[in-house]
Structure formats: structure tokens, C-alpha cells
Structure 1
Amino acid sequence: MIPVQKGEALIHDAAEGHWLYFRNPLAVYSTTVHSEIPSLIRYIHKRVCSERLYAAGFISYDASPGFDKALPASQEVKTPLLSFSLYEAPEIIKELHFESSEKDNKELKWTPCISKDEYNKGFSAVKEYIRTGHSYQVNYTYRLEAEFNGDPRDLFCRMQRAQNASYGAYLDYGDMVVASASPELFFSLNGDRIMTKPMKGTAPRGMTTKEDRKIAQEFYHSEKNRAENMMIVDMIRNDLGRIARSGTVRVPRLFEIEKYPTLWQMTTEVHAQTDAEIPEILENLFPCASITGAPKYRTMEIIKELESTARGLYTGSIGYWGPHRRAQFNVAIRTAMMNRNEQTARYGTGGGVVWDSTMEGEYEESLTKTGILSRKERVFSLLETLKWTKEDGFILLERHIKRLEESADYFDYPCRTGDIKKALEKTSGSFRGEEAQRVRLLLDRDGEIHIEAQPLNEQDSKGLRTLKRADYPMSSRNPFLFHKTTEREIYKNLLKENPDYDDVLLWNEQGEITESCIANIVLVLKGIHYTPPVSCGLLAGTMRQEMLEQGVLKERVVKAAEIAEADEIYLINSVRGIMRVNYSE
């Protein structure tokens, strides 16, 4: 559990890679009046500079007219337009473990504030505005709400674990709490150097490392996403140009692809040098162009007209600034605001709509961005089970290592191959006698290696194994079917539900067979040995891959109804080898 209490704030300093823990507020400043914003920001800034204090807090999207009267925004002010607390220098926390309390087992029921039909109607209106030249891109969004009476720190921990956000923040105002797992930088200031890093464009993660990389490559080269990103970058370059020293605005990194647990995101860095103070920077940059659209003024009018609820903090900014011209502000996306008195939580989502956007595509993207709310942390290790014999050593070792490396890359686990091989060699050096060994290699999230070994009773592989088809399908979009991990509840439950059988045959929502609980499956049809392709939702077994490359097997989608036509059925894995089966429906 994170330590933050009422009045305190926790902000991740991405540049330094640590957390800033602000405690014991000296003063809290907030307002619900647009006209008070400029003078309040300047007063806070004056105290920061003269007393060497730090200001930490948030600015609502609806505060926009307070920085520029020409900017339209909702007047339905239910929460402060901005709120900042002043602190002495923050405590630096090098590393935080985002562990939830034991009570964090309740799944929140998030309800969109608009129906899909209402979203479609608004989307169509946006497309019409684009068609008639009012805007080139509109960031069209909506809100979700849930009943919430738990500990807000639990939700923040869940969000931060799911997103691993560079610009995470947690602010506790007592009756109101802000939890942000934002991956997007609004701006950072270090002396005279200012940087922005707008995000525009998302894509879902793949299921396997191969599919994941393919999606990333297609996403990187997508003309639609590049055009959207470039449009926002041009707007931000223009905004920065108003406060930058002449000729210092530059774009060192264009169209970078960043990986997150639930999605891929396209980002671009824009740098400049400036002598402007925080109040002037906010007056010229806020709100961030990536969450409005282009052109900013007219598009914000469209947003105000079409979005059914005020954005509030969503797409505003959370951050801090301090002495010596140091500041960091995020874009308040992937952000929830909780009201303890009303026992409610609110979260916003949406995306940038351009002329060739589709309603289904944008709606699905908006749902992808809510995955952070329901994605429960799974504490698991990557797993490889190997066979060792005195004659041959570890069977198919290089294939096991390669698969482990790919899964480690997919889940972002540190994987030191040299250390793994040394650990296996050390383990095998302790084996005595002629017995074959079954070796479990575990790789933890922090890169720790664990090895377990026990004698392998090869008699277990002899004779026919009884195999029954599962009573219900598996989802082919479950990533844990494609990677061997200690997260094996699916397989354990199937075996428990079918105690009279040695193994269970899995199939997917398309009626295609996939694998068994412990092995890949092979069906002999008209003399040809077929195994289902990985895309059906299964683990790419090492023996399976060996036999495919040797030409012994061919890949083919096999419907469950075709099993009865098979001349023979057998299972394969690298520990047990070939296992003949007696199949039952």
C-alpha cells in the first residue's frame, strides 16, 4: 500500500526515475471561478520562487478559459478548476511497490455516461464538422462512472501496475482523490529547456511476441496514425513558438512507438529553449493540443457542443513545479477522480477522430483505454519445463531459451540468458545416477531465476492417455494461452472438472481445437500429420516447433467436428515425447 494520506501528493518524476512524496501542506489554493485563475497561478508562483517551495496539484480541462478567454469549455463546474498545495522539498522515494490491500478484490462496475447509439450520433456529428471544414481532427470523449466506497489507493495501485505509467500521480484532498496513471507528458521544464511529448494514436497489443511486433510495425508505418500525430505536433510546435527563444523549437524524435501492458502508443518529442515562467507557459500551452484537436479554438467549441458531460480534470493536467525552474505536468488521461462523500468514481476515455476514422474503430479504441480499470495484476513467473538425460543433457534447450526470451520481451521481464544457462548447468551438475530429470525453470518479474528438478518417471508416458474435450471454449485472445507461465488456473480447473481423464482437449470460440492441458495435439488426417496454428490460441511447444521445421508436421486449422475423421490422435511435448491417446467427446 502506498503511504499517501490526506493533504499529501505523490508524483512520479520521469526524468529522474523516482517518486516525489509531498507531505505536510503549508497552504492549499483552489478556485471554481475562471477569472481568478491567472492571479492565483501568479501568486502561487511568487511563493514558490520567493520561499523556495514546491506546488503540486491539478488543472481541470474546463479551466481553459481562465488562461485564454477565447477558449470555450463547459461552465458546469462541480469540482475545482484548479487546486495546488504548497510544500517544502519533497521526500524522494526510489522505488514503490504498488501492492493493494487485502480488501482490493472488488471489481468496480463502470457505466458509460452515454449509450453506444449516443456515441454514434456524436461521432457522426464530428465527421460532418470535419467534412465541412470546421476541424481536421476532434478529440471526442465521454465519461464512465462507478460506485466507489473503497480505498482510493487500491485503485491507484491497480492502475499503476497495469499501466506502469511514467507520469503517474496521486493527490489526496480528503473528500476528493485523484489517481492518475498517465503515460503522456504535457511539458517538463529543466532550467531553460522545455520538452513536450504528445501522444496520438493507439493500437492493441498482440497475443504472441511475433504478432505483437507485427502490430507495432504496422502501427509505426500507419499513414493514418502518422498524419494524426503530425497534426498535433505541428500545433504544439506553434504553441511552443510563442514562448521559445527564436530558432530553438525542434523535433528530435518523431513517431516513436511505446509499449504498455494493454496497448501500443505513438509519441513524438518536441523540444525548445525558453525564458518563460510557469504562468506564461500555461497561458500559451494549456490545454495540450493532443486532447483537443485541430484547430484548437474551433475544435474546442465542437467538443463543448457535442460532449454530453463536462470533462472536469480528465484531459487537464496534474503536476508540480519548484524552485530552480524545475517542473513536470502530465496530460490527465488514464485518470480517475473519486469523491469520498458521494462514494463515486469518474474516468474519461475517447480518441482523436479524423476524416477516415470509423465509428467502430474509434469506439473500440476508447474501450481499449479503459482496460487499465479492470486489468487485475497477475503475479506470475515465466516457466519452461525441460527434460534432462545423462546422454543428451537438456533436450531442445535452445528452443526453450528462445521461447523464454520472447515471453520475457512480451511481458517486459528482465532475462539474462547467460545467467540462466549457467544456473541450468550448475543444476545438472548435481544430478546423480542414470535417471532422467524433469526440470522447471522459473523467471520472476524482477529477473530472479529459480530451478526445481525431480526424477522423471518415463513410464507415465507409456500406453494410451485418456483425453476428453472440454465442455466450453477458451478465448483465443487470452495472452496466457500463448506464453508458458505459472498462471495455469485454466488448465488446473479443466483437469479438476474431468477427474476420470488423464488430459483435456481445449477448443476456442470458433469451434477450432487448440491443445491439451499439458501438450500440443496432432491429428492424422488422410495420412498427413496436422497441428493447429498458434493463432488459434495455444502455446508454441518446443517439440511442436522442432517437428514442424523437420517437415514431420503441417499447420492447419482443425474444427472440433473433424476429430472423428482422424486416423490417429496423439499429444506431444518435449518432456514426455509422443503420447498416444484414447479420445472421448
Structure 2
Amino acid sequence: MFTTHSIFNKMNELGAAKVPFFFMIDFLKEKGEVIPLSELNNDILFEVNSSQKKSINKKIKFEKFPLNYEDYLKRFEVVHQNLLFGNSYLTNLTFPTKIETDLSLDEIYEYSQAKFKLKYKDEFVCFSPERFVKIENRKIFSYPMKGTIDADITDADKLVLEDEKEAAEHATIVDLIRNDLSLVADNVHVTKYRYLDKVKTNDKNLLQVSSEISGDLEDNYQEKLGTIFDQLLPAGSICGAPKKKTIEIILEAENYERKFYTGVFGVFDGENIDSAVMIRFIEQINNHLYFKSGGGITAKSDSFSEYKELIQKVYVPIY
């Protein structure tokens, strides 16, 4: 496993040689893997921009044991006070939830219906609905996702799009990502703003709100793939704004290690690149499974609503 700058140097080296490779980078950009596709083995399984739909032929056991609301509230207050003091405009607060399921990590990987899927050894599995960046024909695209609601609620689409807190949170992240892309690209602009995607899960349907932002890269961008990702990470949608101070707040409030959760993974095909944010993430720790999830907190956030959203995001998209 590579550490810090060697991750990005290797991406630059392979990109310049146009060698197809897989990569994954943890939340704090401290560890990662960069492996030519010709050298990959079955320890790492992944799908990028998948449209596969495979149903499982059994009733699923899936139980969750979240931290209690009182413990969540203590961490929420750390974030909320920083927001009120103006140290952050938006902070993504996450926690691990212990789960019990009769699904193996292999089954979760195989049957999860998600655009982006990754299984890393016997350590974790990710089934992410959120693309990080796509680079195609000298153009870079990013798709920040902020805003989730139970799709079966009456007028759910209207409620989530008209919710003042959700709108402010989404606008903040779009502005942050637009600024991030401007570090590596020209002519950066929002091409689609606040559109809805439907996600089906093992127990309900969700609506999630995304936007599309694009920009133009230099002709030799393949030589700078690692440099580009180094400048863009951590992903704005899973930390907040301003990024540097908000990460300090996250480390103080969460009091656990995200590791690869909320990092990114992706693939370079020799010409173009596609990648995902590692959300919807199940990790095996000491023979127990933990689902890491969270949400964006603003000064207007209600603690109990945020607590319920954290639990709502603990699911598998298997049916």
C-alpha cells in the first residue's frame, strides 16, 4: 500500500505512460493503492458506472444497532458550536453503526445495485451512488450529492427540493466543488443544478439530490492525474467548507477513524478516468461489521433529524 505523495506520483507516472490502472485513496490522503489493471487479482473487485441489476433469491437479515441519540448529540454539539462561531459553513458528521446480517461481504458486493462498487480483500465493501470526478476528452466533471429523503413520503421530490436547509447545504457544496475544480481546470461552471436520483434499498426507496459541474483541462492532463486528485481531495461533499478547518472539526467531533470511508476509488482506462466517493460503506472490524454513514450539518440543522438521516442511510441496495 502506498502512502501520501507516492500515491499521486504513481498516478502521474502511469497516466503519462497511458497504462490503465485502479486506484483508491483514503479520507485523509495518507494511504492508498495504485495498481496497473494487468496486475490486479481477486483481492480487489470493482465496478465503475455499473448498470448491472442482479436480484438475490433469499430473504435478507439486516439489523442495525446505532449509537444512542444522547451520544450523537454530544458530537453534534461540537460541530454545531463551530458552525455558530463561523469556523465552518457546513460540516459532514459521520459515525459507524454496528450491523448484523446473513450476507457475506462477497454477497453484498455481488448483489448491491449501485453505480460504483468496490470490495477490498476481506476488509470492506462499498456500494456508492456518488461519482467523484470523471475525466473524458479533456473535460473534467464532478457530481456532488447532498440531500436525501424517503421517496415514499407524499410529495418527497417537492419537499427535498424546497427544504431551506437542504438547499443551503447543497449550494455550499456546489460552490466548494466549483472552487476546487478551478484549481485544476478552466471554464468551470455548473451544467446541471439539483436534479434527483432514485435509489432502491432493502427496506425503502430514497431520493438523492445531485448537481453536475464541469471544466476544461490542459492537453497533457494524463501526466498530472495524481496532481489533480491531490488538489481535489478530500472530496468536498464528505467534509464541508472551508475544507481545511472543517476537517479539523471533523477529527475533533467524530473521535474515530474513517480510514477509507469517504475516500475515493476509480479506474484509468489509458485515456479517461472515472471515480467514486466511498460512501455506503461496510467495514469488518474484529469480526464485526460496521456501516459508516453520516450527513451534512449546518447552523440550521436539527439534531434529531440529522440523527435519523444517519440511521436512514444504513442500508444495502439489494432486493
Q: Normalised by the size of structure 1, how large is the TM-score?
A: 0.49
Change in Cα spacing, 1:44 to 1:323, as seen in structure 2 (3 Å) is same
In structure 2, how many angstroms separate the alpha carbons of the residues matched to 1:92 and 1:183?
A: 12
Read off the aligned partner of 1:283 and give its amino acid letter: D
Find the counterpart in structure 1 of residue 43 from structure 2. none
Q: Which residue of 39, 52, 55 maps to 2:6? A: 39
In structure 2, how many angstroms separate the alpha carbons of the residues matched to 1:287 and 1:332?
A: 11
In structure 1, how many angstroms separate the alpha carbons of the residues matched to 2:39 and 2:68?
A: 46
- Is the Cα–Cα contact under 8 Å of residues 57 and 171 in structure 1 kept in the other structure? no
Find the counterpart in structure 2 of residue 252 from structure 1. 191
Read off the aligned partner of 2:65 and give its amino acid letter: T
In structure 2, how many angstroms separate the alpha carbons of the residues matched to 1:116 and 1:299?
A: 23
- Is the Cα–Cα contact under 8 Å of residues 48 and 322 in structure 1 kept in the other structure? no
Q: Which residue of 51, 54, 61 maps to 1:98? A: 54
Q: Are 1:205 and 2:151 an aligned pair?
A: yes
Q: Are 1:154 and 2:107 an aligned pair?
A: yes
Find the counterpart in structure 2 of residue 307 from structure 1. 254
Q: Which residue of 76, 79, 85 maps to 2:35? A: 85
TM alignment of 1:101-250, pairs within 5 A: 107-112=61-66, 114-146=67-99, 151-158=104-111, 160=112, 164-166=113-115, 168-173=116-121, 175-176=122-123, 178-206=124-152, 211=154, 214-245=155-186, 248-250=187-189
Find the counterpart in structure 1 of residue 26 from structure 2. 60
Q: Which residue of 284, 294, 305 maps to 2:241? A: 294
CA positional deviation for 1:165: 2.2
SS for the counterpart of 1:249 is: strand
Read off the aligned partner of 1:250 and give its amino acid letter: H
Cα deviation per residue 1:482-524 (whole Å; 9 max; x = unaligned)?
xxxxxxxxxxxxxxxxxxxxxxxxxxxxxxxxxxxxxxxxxxx
Root mean square deviation, CA, Å: 2.6
Read off the aligned partner of 2:14 and give its amino acid letter: R
TM alignment of 1:337-376, pairs within 5 A: 337-338=283-284, 342-370=286-314, 372-373=315-316
SS for the counterpart of 1:337 is: strand
Q: Normalised by the size of structure 2, how large is the TM-score?
A: 0.86
CA positional deviation for 1:106: 5.8
In structure 1, how many angstroms separate the alpha carbons of the residues matched to 2:290 and 2:101?
A: 9
Find the counterpart in structure 1 of residue 207 from structure 2. 264
Change in Cα spacing, 1:53 to 1:344, as seen in structure 2 (3 Å) is farther
Cα deviation per residue 1:432-473 (whole Å; 9 max; x = unaligned)?
xxxxxxxxxxxxxxxxxxxxxxxxxxxxxxxxxxxxxxxxxx
SS for the counterpart of 1:123 is: helix
Read off the aligned partner of 1:317 and give its amino acid letter: V
Change in Cα spacing, 1:353 to 1:59, as seen in structure 2 (3 Å) is same
Cα deviation per residue 1:360-391 (whole Å; 9 max; x = unaligned)?
11111111111x23x662xxxxxxxxxxxxxx
- Is the Cα–Cα contact under 8 Å of residues 147 and 343 in structure 1 kept in the other structure? no
Find the counterpart in structure 2 of residue 273 from structure 1. 216
Read off the aligned partner of 1:259 and give its amino acid letter: K
In structure 2, how many angstroms separate the alpha carbons of the residues matched to 1:258 and 1:40?
A: 32
In structure 1, how many angstroms separate the alpha carbons of the residues matched to 2:176 and 2:134?
A: 17
CA positional deviation for 1:237: 1.0
CA positional deviation for 1:84: 2.9
CA positional deviation for 1:118: 1.0
TM alignment of 1:406-425, pairs within 5 A: none
Q: Percent identity between the aligned chains?
A: 25
Find the counterpart in structure 2 of residue 317 from structure 1. 264
In structure 1, how many angstroms separate the alpha carbons of the residues matched to 2:137 and 2:68?
A: 47
Read off the aligned partner of 2:303 and give its amino acid letter: M
Give 5+ residue unaligned stretches, structure 1: 1-29, 67-80, 378-585
Read off the aligned partner of 1:98 and give its amino acid letter: K
In structure 2, how many angstroms separate the alpha carbons of the residues matched to 1:148 and 1:220?
A: 34
Read off the aligned partner of 1:264 and give its amino acid letter: L
- Is the Cα–Cα contact under 8 Å of residues 49 and 322 in structure 1 kept in the other structure? no
Read off the aligned partner of 2:246 and give its amino acid letter: T
Higher relative contact order (CA 8 A, sep 6+): 2
- Is the Cα–Cα contact under 8 Å of residues 148 and 344 in structure 1 kept in the other structure? no
Cα deviation per residue 1:149-201 (whole Å; 9 max; x = unaligned)?
8632212244x2xxx422x212343x43x422211111010131000000111
- Is the Cα–Cα contact under 8 Å of residues 263 and 368 in structure 1 kept in the other structure? no
Change in Cα spacing, 1:106 to 1:268, as seen in structure 2 (3 Å) is closer
SS for the counterpart of 1:225 is: helix
Find the counterpart in structure 2 of residue 328 from structure 1. 274
Change in Cα spacing, 1:185 to 1:111, as seen in structure 2 (3 Å) is same
Give 5+ residue unaligned stretches, structure 2: 41-45
CA positional deviation for 1:109: 4.1
In structure 1, how many angstroms separate the alpha carbons of the residues matched to 2:296 and 2:47?
A: 36
Change in Cα spacing, 1:107 to 1:301, as seen in structure 2 (3 Å) is same
Find the counterpart in structure 2 of residue 457 from structure 1. none
Find the counterpart in structure 2 of residue 282 from structure 1. 229
SS for the counterpart of 1:279 is: helix
CA positional deviation for 1:143: 0.8
In structure 2, how many angstroms separate the alpha carbons of the residues matched to 1:89 and 1:40?
A: 16
- Is the Cα–Cα contact under 8 Å of residues 185 and 330 in structure 1 kept in the other structure? yes
- Is the Cα–Cα contact under 8 Å of residues 180 and 332 in structure 1 kept in the other structure? yes
Read off the aligned partner of 1:263 and give its amino acid letter: L
In structure 2, how many angstroms separate the alpha carbons of the residues matched to 1:376 and 1:172?
A: 19
SS for the counterpart of 1:61 is: coil
SS for the counterpart of 1:88 is: helix
TM alignment of 1:370-519, pairs within 5 A: 370=314, 372-373=315-316, 377=319
Deviates more, 1:83-92 or 1:131-140: 83-92
In structure 2, how many angstroms separate the alpha carbons of the residues matched to 1:288 and 1:95?
A: 24
